[in-house]
Amino acid sequence: MRRIVEQIAKLSALLPELEDQAHIAEYESRRDGSTPEHKEKSKQARDAASAAELERLKAIAALNGLGISLKGALEGLVDFPSYRDGEAIELCWKLGEDRVGHWHRVGEGYAGRKKI
């Protein structure tokens, strides 16, 4: 799970830059005097952004398949459904933490985190 969350965080941080590069390359390819190289660069930039987004979505789907909810892509924040004293809760983990060490009631979110 840690590897999947790290991948999501990395791709989420990278995507805005890839999308900016795609927009710039698209603009340059449409300007007067653009060359076939500009058009190829635009296609490559769009393909790179699309590939990164697809990989991010696959990683999120893999988490969901494990029953884990992504709550913060950039922070690597995830919740796991669980029970505490018969009450439905969510265990909470964030990239950088060694283990799952927090929980909160359903709907409270990160602000409601309590130590296990």
pLDDT tens digits for range 83-99: 999 999 999 999 999 99
Question: The dihedral of CA 73, 76, 82, 83: what is its sign?
Answer: negative
d(CA 66, CA 38): 43
Mean pLDDT of 75-85: 95
pLDDT value of position 49:
96
Over residues 56-66, the pLDDT tens digits come to 999 999 999 99
* E-assigned strand segments in the chain: 69-72, 77-84, 87-94, 102-105, 114-115
pLDDT value of position 97:
95
Question: The dihedral of CA 43, 46, 52, 54: what is its sign?
Answer: negative
| 69-72 and 77-84 beta bridge pairing | antiparallel
Over residues 21-61, the pLDDT tens digits come to 999 999 999 998 889 998 899 999 999 999 999 999 999 99
Q: How far is CA 31 from the centre of its chain?
A: 33
Residue 100 pLDDT level (bands cut at 50, 70, 90) = very high
Q: Is the pLDDT of residue 78 over 90?
A: yes
pLDDT value of position 109:
87
pLDDT value of position 87:
94
The residue ranges of every structural domain in the chain are: 2-66, 70-115
Question: The dihedral of CA 40, 55, 52, 54: what is its sign?
Answer: positive
